[in-house]
């Protein structure tokens, strides 16, 4: 018995050590690629608008196009990919990312760039959903949460390092170079996944139709998705136009923009850590208070934005508070998704990118209407309040459902 069990034990220890770390790191690099390509557009929006010959509010539509691609891609890819081998699927999704980033880099006009950004958003949610499942399957049960967090860390690090660096590169070498840079990172991810992520079969018993019926047939799912899609939109109403807000409203130089993007990334890292702590208290209540805090900070942003560097800590705070919503919305969806956890994991990103599209669009509308680059902060405050209202509706509905179930029993 000893001779047959010993090799398995050593393999398990190795997988739990260096091989496991390398596998999660490979998956996290994909998150880094996605986070960099998603958010660098905000930092380079003035250059992109000039490069394709449109106004900045109209150029903001390319941000919305990417977000809509995420929303469309999650159910589409989740429906058809549930039974496919996981490693091959991850490589294919990153390959698509590389191709569509190159297409963005060579876009000759507004229409082509908007279409390219839409295509680039399609693999986003599916990659994070599949990568999270793979990471969890490689970890011991008690470490699954840590494994998934490791994958998501790539997204946070992208906002600390990838986005500021890509923005700097785009400012000095042209905005197209930023998309070439993210394409190269996607190619690197493909190589790392093939090298370090073991083969993981798909779920042969799962079907997209079965998961969709389970997931979308629940009221709490819809309320949670709506709270994220609307409430988190406030952050993107402000962040989509941060570059011009910093230069034209705060009166700082173009070279200061990467520092504000760095503050955004550091706020995301801090907020992700805080989210894990407050989730022990109450997931739903942490979401509500995150929305309240976001609304207040949006008003502070509106007041402080003309005062130069004083805006920097406000950007950090808005992102930190908003990131609590990002992380704990994922937990809330897992709680209310029933057996459709795969679709639930991916749909979180669909909801957040709906927020991206909504916020960028509404922010562009008030700017185009002549209210200036401070106005999106007021739009953001209103969206945050509306998100809180939906969460409170969800809480009351959940409590009434529990009472009805208890009475029926």
With 0.75 as the threshold, say if the pTM is over it: no
- pLDDT category at 370 given cuts 50, 70, 90 is confident
Domain end marker among 206, 228, 251: 206
* Residues 202, 314 within the same domain: no
- Domain shared by 290 and 275, yes or no: yes
**pLDDT classification of 2: cutoffs 50, 70, 90:** very low
Question: How large is the average pLDDT for residues 289-318?
Answer: 90
CATH of residue 25's domain is: 1.20.1250.20
With respect to residue 146, please indicate whether it lies within any of the assigned structural domains.
yes
Domain-embedded: residue 8 = no
Mean pLDDT highest for which of 21-35, 274-288, 347-361?
Answer: 21-35
Instruction: For residues 337 and 197, state if they share a domain.
Output: no
- Digit-coded pLDDT (tens) for 42-88: 778 889 999 988 888 888 888 888 888 888 887 776 666 666 777 88
* Locus of tokens 């130069």: 308
Number of separate domains in the chain: 2
Structure tokens given for 61: 């539509």
Q: Which domain holds residue 379?
A: 210-399
Angle at 127 between CA 270 and CA 125, to 5 degrees: 70
**Whole-angstrom distance, CA of residue 81 vs CA of residue 90:** 11
Picking from 184, 206, 228, the residue at the C-terminal end of a domain is 206
Asked whether residue 406 is domain-assigned, the answer is: no
In a domain, 408, yes or no: no
- What tens digit of pLDDT does each residue of 83-118 get? 677 788 899 999 999 999 999 999 989 999 999 999
On whether both 131 and 214 belong to a single domain, the answer is no
Give the residue-averaged pLDDT of 131-148: 71
Handedness of CA 231, 326, 336, 279 (dihedral sign): negative
**DSSP one-letter code for 109:** S
**Is residue 3 very low, low, confident or very high in pLDDT (cuts 50, 70, 90)?**
very low
Q: What is the mean pLDDT of the chain?
A: 81
Same domain? 189 vs 94: yes
267 and 389, same structural domain?
yes
- Answer yes or no: is 159 within a domain: yes
Question: Are 109 and 256 contained in the same domain?
Answer: no
Query: 188 and 58, same structural domain?
Result: yes
For residue 76, is it within any domain? yes
CA angle 60, 63, 68 (to 5 degrees): 130
Q: Are residues 85 and 163 in the same domain?
A: yes
pLDDT (average), residues 330-343: 69
Average pLDDT over residues 246-267: 85
pLDDT at site 394 = 82
The yes-or-no verdict on residue 232 having pLDDT over 60 is yes
Q: Are 173 and 232 part of one and the same domain?
A: no
Residue 30 lies in a domain: yes
135 or 115: which leads in pLDDT: 115
Give the Å distances, CA to CA, from 260 to 308, 354, 359. 11, 23, 19
With a pLDDT cut of 70, the percent of the chain lying above it is 82
pLDDT (tens digit per residue) in 6-49: 444 444 454 457 788 888 899 999 999 998 988 888 778 889 99
Structural domain contains residue 404: no
Domain boundary among 206, 221, 249: 206
Q: What's residue 401's pLDDT? A: 64
Same domain, 50 and 102: yes
Residues 131 and 264 in one domain: no
């Amino acid at each position: 018995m000893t001779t047959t069990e010993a090799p398995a034990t050593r393999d398990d220890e190795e997988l739990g050590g260096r091989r496991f770390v390398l596998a999660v790191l490979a998956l996290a690099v994909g998150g880094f690629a996605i986070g960099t390509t998603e958010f660098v557009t905000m930092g380079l929006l003035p250059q992109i608008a000039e490069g394709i010959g449109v106004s900045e509010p109209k150029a903001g539509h390319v941000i919305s196009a990417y977000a809509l691609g995420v929303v469309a891609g999650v159910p589409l890819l989740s429906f058809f990919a549930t039974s496919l081998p996981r490693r091959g699927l991850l490589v294919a999704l990153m390959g698509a990312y590389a191709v569509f980033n190159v297409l963005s880099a060579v876009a000759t006009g507004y229409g082509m760039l908007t279409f390219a950004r839409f295509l680039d958003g399609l693999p986003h949610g599916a990659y994070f959903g599949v990568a999270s499942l793979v990471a969890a399957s490689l970890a011991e049960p008690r470490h699954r949460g840590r494994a998934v967090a490791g994958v998501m860390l790539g997204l946070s690090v992208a906002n600390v390092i990838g986005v500021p660096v890509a923005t700097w590169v785009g400012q000095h070498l042209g905005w197209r170079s930023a998309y070439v840079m993210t394409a190269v990172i996607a190619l690197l991810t493909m190589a790392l996944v093939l090298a370090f992520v073991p083969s993981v079969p798909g779920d042969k018993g799962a079907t997209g139709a079965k998961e969709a019926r389970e997931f979308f047939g629940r009221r709490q799912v819809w309320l949670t998705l709506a709270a994220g899609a609307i409430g988190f939109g406030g952050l993107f109403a402000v962040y989509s136009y941060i570059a011009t807000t910093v230069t034209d409203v705060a009166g700082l130089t173009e070279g200061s923009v990467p520092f504000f993007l760095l503050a955004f990334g550091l706020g995301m890292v801090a907020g992700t850590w805080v989210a894990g702590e407050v989730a022990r208290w109450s997931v739903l209540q942490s979401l509500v208070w995150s929305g309240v805090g976001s609304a207040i900070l949006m008003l502070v942003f509106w007041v402080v934005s003309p005062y130069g560097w004083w805006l920097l800590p406000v950007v950090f705070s808005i992102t930190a508070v908003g990131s609590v919503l990002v992380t704990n919305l994922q937990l809330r969806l897992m709680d209310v998704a029933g057996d459709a956890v795969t679709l639930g994991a991916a749909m979180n990103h669909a909801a957040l990118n709906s927020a991206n599209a909504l916020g960028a669009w509404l922010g562009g509308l008030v700017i185009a209407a002549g209210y200036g680059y401070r106005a999106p902060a007021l739009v953001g405050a209103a969206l945050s309040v509306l998100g809180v209202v939906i969460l409170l509706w969800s809480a009351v509905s959940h409590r009434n459902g529990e009472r009805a179930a208890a009475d029926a029993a």
